[in-house]
Structure 1
């Protein structure tokens, strides 16, 4: 499974957050696209419409398990996708900003 460390993500990298709604609302990376893993197949079209056509998709969840499943699925579809190792827990621990639904400081649930 292709992975990337949080520290190796460039500012502005395309992030797909596959956590559930309550996790997203508590805190997420600003600018990430949110499609919960439980809705991923039904909402796949949103990703193909939103993601950069020539860029990599960085898939993130809380710790890296759910995002690994989605990243593997995307790779099987021929999409350049990688799992963000350690997920939002590492994202927050390394000092990357986490915001809630109102754009205020959030936390990882």
Structure 2
């Protein structure tokens, strides 16, 4: 899924699989943080009826997680280009601790 398409979605579950330093530097508003290594243990936190979009810095790690979710019956897609592509399109990142503008780490 392209960043501009994601911005127009309101029913999607956005799952950020990045590491702590990346997450705290800046996240896409509305994203839920689930480390890659924790995703399998936290599947019950996701609604099967709603589509899932996974995100990381470049889209590589999150692509694997989208495949993982799809194999388990979720309707999952990857955010093409990750938060890097998101910010390149002028879309906002926010620091989760204070909602101030964030950055790609």
> What is the TM-score when the length of structure 2 is the normalising length?
0.89
Which residue in 2 is equivalent to 1:76? 71
Which residue in 2 is equivalent to 1:20? 19
Structure 2 Cα separation of the partners of residues 31 and 8 of structure 1: 15
- Residue 86 of structure 1 pairs with residue 81 of structure 2: yes
Structure 2 Cα separation of the partners of residues 71 and 100 of structure 1: 24
- Residue 103 of structure 1 pairs with residue 99 of structure 2: yes
What stretches of structure 2 of length at least 5 have no aligned partner? Answer: none
Structure 2 Cα separation of the partners of residues 82 and 98 of structure 1: 20
Which residue in 1 is equivalent to 2:35? 36
Residue from 51, 56, 60 that aligns with 1:56: 51
Residue from 1, 7, 28 that aligns with 2:4: 7
What stretches of structure 1 of length at least 5 have no aligned partner? Answer: none
Instruction: Show CA shifts across 1:59-95 (max 9, x none).
Output: 1100001101110000001110001100000011111
- The Cα of 1:39 is off from its aligned counterpart by 2.0
Structure 1 Cα separation of the partners of residues 9 and 101 of structure 2: 18
> What is the TM-score when the length of structure 1 is the normalising length?
0.86
RMSD: 1.3
Whether the 8 Å contact between 1:26 and 1:106 is mirrored in structure 2 is yes
